[in-house]
Amino acid sequence: MKMLSLKIHGNVHGVFYRHAVWEKAKELNLRGYVKNMPDKTVEVKAVGEPEILEDLLEYCRKNPGLSQVEDIEAIWDERDPQSFAKEFDDFKVLHQ
């Protein structure tokens, strides 16, 4: 199990991007969250098997919803993913 942190840049606010990512993460049975950030990026933190997280990353690159993704910063987090996973019983959309 690993944790993947994403910071997604582009036209990703108000275009159903969070909802589309949430649906995909639920389909993949991941734990974590997606949320809009004040700097107009979207943050995703997800825990799961590496190959499943790669599927989520690829999905995020494909401009779900009406988005226009310009760049994705991806960090494979080395912290203990089990402790993060305990915070989330599923995948959620968080609101600021």
Would you please indicate which residues are annotated as catalytic (active-site) residues? Answer: 18, 36
The residue among 32, 37, 40 whose CA lies nearest residue 77 is 32
Rounded Cα gap, residues 20 and 61, in angstroms: 12
